[in-house]
Chains A and B, each alone.
Chain A
Amino acid sequence: MTHLLIPMLEGTLVSVKIFFFTLLFALPLGLLIAKAKQSRFWVVRKLINTYIMIMRGTPLILQLIFVYFAPYYIFSTSFDRLNAAIIAYVINYGAYFAEIYRGGIQSIDKGQYEAGKVLGFTKAHTFFHVIFPQVIKEIIPAMGNEVITLVKDTALAQTIGVAEVFRVAKTASAREFSTTPLFIAGVFYFIMNAVVSKVFDRMEKKLSYYD
Chain B
Amino acid sequence: MKKLLTILVLAIFSVATIAASGAKENQADVSLEKVMNAGVFVLGLDDSFPPMGYRDKNNEIVGYDIDLAKEVTSRMGVELVNQPIDWSSKEQELATSNIDCIWNGFTKTDERAKVILFSKPYLKNQQILIVKNSSPFNSLEDLKGKSVGLQGGSSASDAMDASPEFKASLKEIIEFSENLTALMDLEAGGVDAVLLDLFVANDNIKRSGKDFRIIKGSLTEEEYAIGFRKNDVALRDKVQSILQDMASDGTIAAISTKWFDADISVVTEN
Task: Spell out A's residues near B (CB within 8 Å).
Answer: 3, 6-7, 10, 42-43, 46-47, 65, 69, 72-76, 78, 158-161, 163, 167, 170-175, 177, 179
Contact = CB atoms under 8 A, between A and B. Distances in A.
Interface in B28-60: 47-50, 54-59
B55 A175 contact: yes
A167 B87 CA distance: 12
Nearest to B86: A159
B85 interface: yes
26 contacts: A3-B58, A10-B59, A43-B1, A47-B5, A72-B95, A72-B96, A72-B97, A73-B20, A74-B16, A74-B20, A75-B19, A76-B23, A158-B86, A159-B86, A160-B86, A161-B84, A161-B85, A170-B178, A171-B48, A171-B55, A171-B84, A172-B55, A174-B48, A175-B55, A175-B57, A177-B210
Contacts of A42: 1
Contacts of A167: 84
B85 A76 contact: no
Contacts of B74: none
A128 to B, nearest CB: 30
Nearest to B210: A177
B56 A175 contact: yes
Contacts, number: 79
Most chain B CB within a 10 A radius of its CB, from A46, A74, A172, A173: A74
Interface of B: 1, 4-5, 16, 19-20, 22-23, 47-50, 54-59, 83-86, 89, 92-93, 95-98, 178-180, 183-184, 204, 207-208, 210
B47 A171 contact: yes
B165 to A, nearest CB: 32
Q: Is chain A's interface secondary structure helix, strand, loop, or mixed overall? A: helix
* 9 shortest interchain CB distances as A-B pairs: A174-B48, A177-B208, A76-B23, A72-B96, A7-B59, A171-B48, A3-B57, A161-B85, A74-B16
A179 B184 contact: yes
B26 to A, nearest CB: 10
A174 B184 contact: no
Given A42-B1, A69-B92, A161-B84, A173 B180 contact: yes
A163 B83 CA distance: 10
A177 B48 contact: no
Contacts of B4: 43
Contact of A161 (B54, B83, B210): B83
Given A69-B89, A160-B86, A177-B207, 7 more contacts: A6-B59, A42-B1, A73-B96, A161-B86, A161-B98, A170-B180, A179-B184
A172 B57 CA distance: 8
Contact of B96 (A3, A78, A171): A78
Most chain A CB within a 10 A radius of its CB, from B22, B95, B179, B180: B180
Nearest to B85: A161
A3 B98 CA distance: 29
Nearest to A72: B96
